[in-house]
Amino acid sequence: MQNKFESLELGQFIPLHYHHNMLNDPHRMKGFKQAIDWVVKPGAKVLELGGGTGVQSFFAAQKAQKVYCVERNPELVEAARKLIKKNTNGDRIDVIQADAMYYLPPEPVDVVICEMLHTGLLREKQMPVINAFKKRYLEKFGGPLPVFVPEASIQAIQPIQQDFNFEGFNAPTILFQDPYSIQARSQNLSDPEIFQFLTYAEPFNPNCSWDGKIMITQSGQLNALRLITKNILALNMETCSTQDWYTQYIVFPLAKPLTVSKGDKVAICFNYQGGAPLNALSDSLEVTKINDIKCQSVNELNILYAGSVENLANIAQSQQSKIAYSKVQKNSN
């Protein structure tokens, strides 16, 4: 059982060697470098919340006039200062040891970079930190809010059959998966279903929840759910494209696996606070099979399924246009 202090601090201290691994992740580095290059205009003022080694602040400093890089962990503050000194335009970056929950820059900024992202927006404090920042910022400086990197996160859930047998050792535990490689030990039992789309500059619910149904498209043993978080790091208005980055997938084993057949529907329900421990999802998770759909004809099932795929595409598309629209409005104001 976690005490209050542990749960408040959770996800906020990432060891230095893990930061070195993050530097070594090409999807992450290339994605953020490109996004920051799109968003930061020459002479801009930038704030980074949770600077780590300072790499994102370094990307921003190649165009920005001033970068405030806020980091709470003293070991990382020291590492960032050392590394930034070795790099071009490091003199444009101030590394400040402070808690991002309370910090405000001395002047308005054009861009805020905040990568406290964990799959499911669990553990790390992306949602509470950004919500608290927006409130303080608007109180002190008024609008408009800066542009956020990432701009938005889209979350989805996918029923899967997972092989939890490790050389004969059966261990149905939480697993992380590389989103950029094929997962031979997982079998997808349906397409992913989006349960949340949040745009950081807009007001958002501090909770992540879903109460919905998914159509099974492949028969099997439903023994786990895959949680997917895709982050839209930035939107390029000129090319109408986005720079995206997936955090690692998380596989959550189900307490009671279900045997499912193609055409079955499963009801999935969960609710947790952004930044909560990993087990907050499992603790609130309910997955049940709905049998009433069985009596429908194959044609009806196809229509239902096609509808859900179409919906997914429409949701993603309409949300992306929503961001694009609000950006066009901001730019024209």
Ligand X SMILES: C[S@@+](CC[C@H](N)C(=O)[O-])C[C@H]1O[C@@H](n2cnc3c(N)ncnc32)[C@H](O)[C@@H]1O
Range in contact with ligand X (rule: CB under 6 A) among 53-61, 241-249, 307-315, 324-332: 53-61
Q: Give Cα separations from 145 to 133, 141, 301 (angstroms).
A: 10, 9, 45
CA angle (321 as vertex; 317, 325 as ends), nearest 5: 175
The reply on whether position 12 binds ligand X by CB under 6 A is: yes
**DSSP alpha helix (H) spans, the chain:** 4-9, 16-23, 26-39, 55-61, 74-85, 126-141, 279-284, 298-332
> How far is residue 97's CA from residue 43's CA, in Å, rounded to a whole number?
24
Q: How far is the CB of 101 from ligand X (least distance, A)?
A: 5
Nearest CB to ligand X, comparing residues 102 and 166 = 102
Among 31, 56, 63, 123, binds ligand X (CB under 6 A): 56
Residue 149: name the closest of 60, 88, 267 by CA.
Answer: 60
Among 63, 123, 125, 134, binds ligand X (CB under 6 A): 125
| Contact positions with ligand X (CB under 6 A) in 59-98 | 70-73, 76
Cα distance from N-terminal residue to C-terminal residue, the chain:
51
Q: How far is the CB of 17 from ligand X (least distance, A)?
A: 12
Among 110, 115, 151, 193, binds ligand X (CB under 6 A): 115
The reply on whether position 149 binds ligand X by CB under 6 A is: no
Could you tell me how many residues of this chain bind ligand X (CB under 6 A)? 22
Q: How far is the CB of 202 from ligand X (least distance, A)?
A: 22
Interface characters, 91-110, with ligand X (x: CB under 6 A): --------xxx---------
The reply on whether position 116 binds ligand X by CB under 6 A is: yes
Q: Which helix (H) or strand (E) holds 10?
A: none
Could you give phi then psi for residue 312, rounded to 5 degrees?
Answer: -55, -50
Token pair of 112, please? 């805020």
Beta strand 186-188 with 152-162 is: antiparallel
Nearest CB to ligand X, comparing residues 177 and 247 = 247
Beta strand 169-170 with 66-71 is: unpaired
| Contact positions with ligand X (CB under 6 A) in 17-36 | 19, 22
Q: Contact positions toward ligand X, by CB under 6 A? A: 12-14, 19, 22, 50-53, 55-56, 70-73, 76, 99-101, 115-116, 125
